[in-house]
Amino acid sequence: MTHRVRLLVTVALFIGFATVVQDRHTVAAQTAPASGGAVAPSVLEDLAAAYRILAMEGVIDAYGHVSVRHPGNPNRFLMSRSLGPALVTPADIMEYDLDSTPVDPRGRNSVLERFIHGEIYKARPDVMVVVHSHAPSVIPFSVTQVPLRPVFHMATFLYTGVPIWDSRSVNDPMAQTLLVRNNLIGKSLAAALGNKEVALLRGHGNVVVGPNLQVTVRDAIYTEINAKLLLAALSLGGPITYISPEEGMAVEKNPGDTQRGWDLWKRKAYGQ
């Protein structure tokens, strides 16, 4: 083979490779879901702050995530790329459709369990925020017959009950990992959550849902604190006086000031 022939073959191979790469990018662009539209910088800033607050308060560590439904399109949601929560900035926020497919990944890795969020948003049009954590004090209540009930006035929202989702209920090999790795598993979790605000994942963690970041972040924090207090009360022995449904409903009708806590946590999370 002459030098000229070798050169022509090399050029042809390069053009062919470039065409394949271009075709792949074209297909990806065609199959990626459309964006729900521009999002105000304040939304991204608050979502990034939510990650940092929950990390600071010990609700999430290297793992765990928060999402918010897209303010302009209920069929999209926003959450961080796969990154340690305490490191999240507004630039790390990605957009997804409700099948948990990224809109514009740009080479960024997605959170493995993003399907938790997409399937809950599908099942619950009222939910605007989802928090998933491995809050340690909650775990014992996911693996025993002792229910997680409210004993603290800051956790009265638990009065409606806290269901437990067991990954073994899903007929999918991936469910054996105890992680929510696809839409089928996420759909099962969303069904177990039902109309509740909190659900436990057996041997894994919990989900907390709510109407906005301020309320949902607060409730995720106090779910963990209430679990600590209940464990302490149980260790003392004797009967426990729980928050009653009547008290829970009274607080529900007369909510407190969530903004005060949010402002404090946000400043602390940014070291101010």
Where do the domains of the chain lie? 1-31, 41-269
pTM score, whole prediction: 0.88
What does the pLDDT average to over 50-66?
Answer: 98
Distance between CA atoms of 212 and 39, rounded to whole angstroms?
Answer: 15
Instruction: Report d(CA 259, CA 76) in Å as an integer.
Output: 26
Please say if the pLDDT value at position 129 is more than 80: yes
pLDDT at position 18, please?
A: 40
Instruction: Please choose, from the candidates 123, 250, 113, 248, the residue with its C-alpha nearest in 3D space to the C-alpha of residue 192.
Output: 123
Query: Phi/psi at 65 (nearest 5 deg)?
Result: -155, 160
What does the pLDDT look like over 146-200, one tens digit per residue? 999 999 999 999 999 999 999 999 999 999 999 999 999 999 999 999 999 999 9
pLDDT digits (tens, 9 = 90+) for 222-246: 999 999 999 999 999 999 999 999 9
Query: Among the options 95, 113, 197, 224, which is catalytic?
Result: 113
Tell me if residue 113 is catalytic: yes
What CATH number matches the domain at 41-269, 3.10.400.10, 1.20.810.10, 3.40.225.10, 3.20.20.10?
A: 3.40.225.10
